[in-house]
Amino acid sequence: MRGKFNLPWSAAVSLDAAMAYTHIIGIAEAVVNSKVGNVGNATPLVADARPMIDPFQRAISYLRVSVTDRCDFRCTYCMAENMNFLPKKDLLTLEELNRLCSAFIAKGVRKLRLTGGEPLVRKNIMYLVRELGKQIGSGLDELTLTTNGSQLSRFADELYDCGVRRINVSLDTLDPDKFRQITRWGDFAKVMEGIEAAQKAGLKIKLNAVALKDFNDVEMPEMIRFAHGRGMDLTVIETMPMGEIEEDRTDRYLPLSKLRADLERNFTMSETGYRTGGPARYVEVKETGGRLGFITPMTHNFCESCNRVRLTCTGTLYMCLGQNDAADLRATIRATEDNALLFAAIDEAISRKPKGHDFIIDRTHNRPAVARHMSVTGG
Ligand code: SAM
Ligand code: SF4
């Protein structure tokens, strides 16, 4: 703009500011013109708040929220044993998280996933689940969560009561000793109890397993039979280079193309068009009649169809799991009750969504691609 009109710097700055101002006023007018719903004391949210379309014409309809970076496990590929967690004073309150999530729903988010860290260890988390559950059917299509399962037996019934119908449970092995080894602090029996309680409550479960070379690769046929035998889909995930851990991830990295080729010796797999709104590609396994998903951030970059952004428990919005650029929405919501300004801050962030991540793991790239752990951004 500046170059095109050859303006002096100060005039150009005012022109940029004027354009931003016009943009914000446009949103503010929309807020005044159509009022639906209100969260806390903030100005009303709008049904027709501008949809979020990124620079690559991808519509953003999926929000993942890491409600805490803390966890009762210490999975070796995810965290170091002695983690420095965020100071509690930096965390958004659950009311603030509800306000932010509601703003995203007003702007076109249809699917919202609570994750972490372990979402079910955050104090009073069911308050947020219940509040968000009220929006299912009026804006939100689905409220779901990803959990390690340790607290599920306590919360399964209440989750269902709040409108949650499907959850992801992370489970990397069926061997209790190996489970303790990979999670460091986890109790396999408790997770099994949790899965049972969730199924009893009516929650549909998808199991997620990170594929780890020389750890659970040999167990995969058994895990497929276990999941499918109990009516659960199973999705396998490639390990991603996020955050410092004690070990070198290269040692455990298993490309899913290799895993799939190995599995095809035991199973007949046929492609399906089944999607859940996430990055997994599913096949149907003829021998079990169940579905097996592959999430392949490393071997097959799925960024071209990315429809999601990620919010942390401190109100930082990451437009990409694998990039460092972020927007501080906590500052915005603490500075103003005006949702028009919040919408404008979200629009500005979405305008910076990158095309994709640049994850590489091999012997020459064995350092984390991003310094933060998956538990901060929310897997
Ligand atoms: N604590 C919950 C759980 O484990 O399901 C939710 C958060 S956890 C960060 C979400 C998912 O990310 C889990 O399935 C976990 O296995 C996966 N994950 C964590 N670190 C990862 C990494 N470096 N690469 C790939 N997946 C990872
Ligand atoms: Fe905790 Fe989930 Fe990370 Fe394991 S993968 S340490 S359960 S956040």
Across-strand partners of 59?
A: 53
Q: Which atom of ligand 2 is nearest to the CA of 146?
A: 2
For the ranges 74-83, 192-201, 218-227, the lowest mean pLDDT is seen at: 74-83
Q: Residue 121 domain-assigned?
A: yes
Residue 139 identity (one-letter amino acid): G
List the domain range (segments joined by +) for residue 278. Answer: 62-307+355-377
Q: Residue 325 domain-assigned?
A: no
Q: Residue 112 domain-assigned?
A: yes
How many whole angstroms from its chain centre is CA 250? 24
C-alpha 379 – ligand 1 centre gap (Å): 5
Position 247 pLDDT exceeds 80 = no
How many whole angstroms from its chain centre is CA 220? 24
CA distance 230 to 210: 20
Question: Which has the closest alpha carbon to 316: 155, 112, 100?
Answer: 100
Query: Is residue 71 a contact partner of residue 64, using CB atoms and an 8 Å limit?
Result: no
Question: Which has the closest alpha carbon to 129: 161, 168, 153, 92?
Answer: 161
Nearest CA to ligand 2 atom 3: 78
Q: Please write the tens of the pLDDT for every residue from 299-338.
A: 666 688 889 999 999 999 999 887 888 999 999 999 999 8
Q: Please write the tens of the pLDDT for every residue from 278-305.
A: 788 999 999 999 999 999 877 666 688 8
Ligand 2 neighbour 114 (Cβ under 6 A): no
pLDDT value, residue 241 = 75
C-alpha 333 – ligand 2 centre gap (Å): 29
C-alpha 115 – ligand 2 centre gap (Å): 10
Query: Taking the CA atoms of the chain, what radius of gyration do you get in angstroms?
Result: 22
Q: Residue 32 domain-assigned?
A: no
CA distance 135 to 140: 6
CA distance 116 to 148: 10
**Number of folded domains in the chain?**
1
Helix (H) or strand (E) holding 190: helix 188-201
Query: Is residue 128 a contact partner of residue 114, using CB atoms and an 8 Å limit?
Result: yes
DSSP label at residue 247: S
Question: pTM of the entire structure?
Answer: 0.86
* SS3 of the chain: helix, strand, coil, percent, to 5: 35, 20, 45
Protein residues whose CB sits closer than 6 Å to any atom of ligand 1: 71, 77-78, 115-116, 118, 146-148, 170, 208, 210, 237, 239-240, 242, 374-375, 379
How many whole angstroms from its chain centre is CA 16? 34
Q: Residue 198 domain-assigned?
A: yes
DSSP label at residue 45: P
Q: Please write the tens of the pLDDT for every residue from 41-55.
A: 566 665 458 899 999
Q: Which atom of ligand 2 is nearest to the CA of 116?
A: 8
C-alpha 131 – ligand 1 centre gap (Å): 25
Q: Residue 55 domain-assigned?
A: no
C-alpha 238 – ligand 1 centre gap (Å): 10
Nearest CA to ligand 1 atom 23: 240
pLDDT value, residue 304 = 81
C-alpha 148 – ligand 2 centre gap (Å): 7
Q: Residue 43 domain-assigned?
A: no
Position 162 pLDDT exceeds 90 = yes
Which mutation among 71, 148, 170 tests ligand 1's pocket best, with the greatest number of atoms within 8 A of CB? 170
Q: Which atom of ligand 1 is nearest to the CA of 116?
A: 7
CA distance 66 to 141: 19
Q: Which atom of ligand 2 is nearest to the CA of 72?
A: 1
In 202-304, which residue ranges form alpha helices assigned H by DSSP?
220-229, 256-263
Query: Is residue 263 a contact partner of residue 221, using CB atoms and an 8 Å limit?
Result: yes
Mean pLDDT for the chain overall: 85
The CATH number linked to 160 is 3.20.20.70
CA distance 5 to 18: 15
Q: Residue 27 domain-assigned?
A: no
Across-strand partners of 93?
A: none
Tokens of residue 10, six digits: 């100060």
Q: How many Cβ atoms from other residues are within 10 Å of residue 368's Cβ?
A: 17
